Structure 1
Amino acid sequence: MLFKRDKWLQYRILRKGSSLAGRLPETQLLKKNALTNMLLHYQSVVLKPRNGSYGRDILFIKRNGANAYRIHNEKKAFTMTDSDKLLKLFRKKNRGRGYIVQRRLQLAQIQHKPFDIRIMVQRQKSSSSTWIVTGSYAKVAAHGYLVTNVASRTIPVLEALKLARIGDRSLLVKAEQIALLAATRLGERYPKLRQVGFDIGIDRNCRIWIIEGNYQPDLRPFRLLKDSSMHRRILWYKKH
């Protein structure tokens, strides 16, 4: 069964869970006031299509001074000094699709490259079955990219924490617990939902964030890991 890919709707569903609200970076629909206010408050934001996938059409905007904006799209970057032109650009981009504007997280890095974690959560066909974590890995952004969807490599999470010089290895357990809470919340809204691939961010202060959940996650990266047990477990749950 297909579930509607809508980042704004998913944010609102998860935000209603009191235990999850503080794990979600502030998100608003892209409108003039929302973009302006969030840039004033956070200095740096991310624009994403509501129904986007694979990191396509994501833009990073950083405020530089009173009326200068640095915009980063994939490996391209440019500066705009006119806020009206900036808004005009995004009105054009927003036409017919719908974008969200989100606080940009300062993700932990490995060799100056940001990384995040994919946590796979599944349950069996019965809607009353318990959600469990069936796999995880870390995605390290390719050189020059800010999104981890363009990944230079896929590695085990504990290895990523070590390379990032994060000493608290329990962060993986905590991230899994947060993913399970989020899956439970989404499962209440969608009783037939059986799998979610959560993108989980760890910022430079070691705080855990839910970036988003994917209802049709790409399973190919699990095949690249030396530990094949996670891939086998995921396939078993997909069948049962």
Structure 2
Amino acid sequence: MLIKRDKWLQYRIFRSRPSLAGRLPQTQLLKKNTLSKMLLQYQSVVLKPRNGSYGRDIVFIKRNGANAYRIHNEQNAVTMRDTDKILKWLRKKNSTHGYIVQRRLQLAQIGHKPFDIRIITQRKKDSSSPWNVTGSYAKVAAQGYLVTNVTSRTIPVLEALNLARIGDRSLLVKAERIALLAAKRLGERYPKLRQVGFDIGIDRKHRIWIIEGNYQPDLRPFRLLKDSSMQRRISWYKKH
């Protein structure tokens, strides 16, 4: 089966598994009524292109009073008065593919910058072989950015948890267990899938969330870590 990069499809694949459903931020396909409802339910939401990658065209919207919305895209921020104008503006930005609208997670922070965790899961060529976690690192957002794809630094996960004062190795173990469950679910859907890089968020209440799985994760950040064992392990799995 063709592996399709589609955030809405992936969300539905995860949501069908009870053990994963509670780890997903509330998500809908973007339509006028869903945007209005989500902004009433949550003060802040995130809009993502269904086929997006590298954090491009991600938009944050925050309710600002009775009928005004603060819109943050990369380092730009504007205020709009109604959801019709927001949708019109979005169509100009990305007219070919739809968006999803998602509850915005209040991610844990390091020095007032949000961060999340990238966890690499892999399995060998034999589709019956088990999934394993082969590497992880934390991505800290650059100054002025709300997405961690624009990264100010890449650091070991345990160092990030310590700097954010939100947990220790047991929290990382729990996040890895959730990533493995998600990898297994995607592997059932796509038997030839052998590698997924998960973006895992930890909110300020220490709750773990699946942000998304990337089928072609960028592995270059592992070169920036002092510990080269993860890079070697990832390379080994790619060959076997």
The answer to whether TM tops 0.5 is yes
**1:84 Cα shift?**
2.8
Show the 5 A alignment for 1:17-166: 17-166=17-166
Q: CA deviation at 1:197?
A: 0.2
**Which deviates further from its counterpart, 141-150 or 79-88?**
79-88
1: distance between equivalents of 2:52 and 2:84? 25
Shift of 1:89: 1.9
Deviations 1:47-74 (A, max 9, x none): 0000000000000000111111000000
Whole-angstrom CA distance in 2 between matches of 1:200 and 1:49: 19
The structural deviation recorded for 1:2 is 6.9
Tell me the distance in 2 between the aligned counterparts of 1:168 and 1:211: 21
Identity of aligned residues (%): 84
> 1 CA distance for matches of 2:118 and 2:220?
12
Secondary structure class of the residue paired with 1:179: helix
> What are the equivalent positions in structure 2 for 1:164-183 lying under 5 Å apart?
164-183=164-183
Paired residues, what number? Answer: 240
Q: Measure the CA separation in 2 of the matches of 1:168 and 1:224.
A: 22
Equivalent residues of 1:48, 1:101 under 8 A apart: yes
Instruction: Tell me, in whole angstroms, the C-alpha distance in 1 between the residues paired with 2:83 and 2:228.
Output: 50
Q: TM-score, normalised by structure 1?
A: 0.97
CA distance, structure 1, for counterparts of residue 84 and residue 121 of structure 2: 43
Which ranges in structure 2 are unaligned for 5 or more consecutive residues? none
Residue 88 of structure 1: how far off its partner (Å): 2.4
Cα deviation, residue 168, structure 1 = 4.1
Letter in 1 for 2:67: N
Matched residue, 1:220: 220
Distance (whole Å) between structure 2 residues aligned to residue 135 and residue 21 of structure 1: 24
TM-score, normalised to structure 2, is 0.97
Give the C-alpha shift of residue 83 in structure 1.
3.3
Per the TM alignment, residue 178 of structure 1 is displaced from its structure 2 partner at its CA by 0.1
Check if 1:239 corresponds to 2:236: no
Q: State the match for 2:4 in structure 1.
A: 4
Segment drifting more, 87-96 vs 24-33: 87-96
Q: Distance in 1 between matches of 2:201 and 2:116?
A: 5
Aligned to 2:205: 205
Contact 1:67 1:83 in 2 (8 A): no
SS in 2 for 1:34: helix
> What SS does structure 2 have at the residue aligned with 1:20?
helix
| SS, match of residue 23 in structure 1 | coil
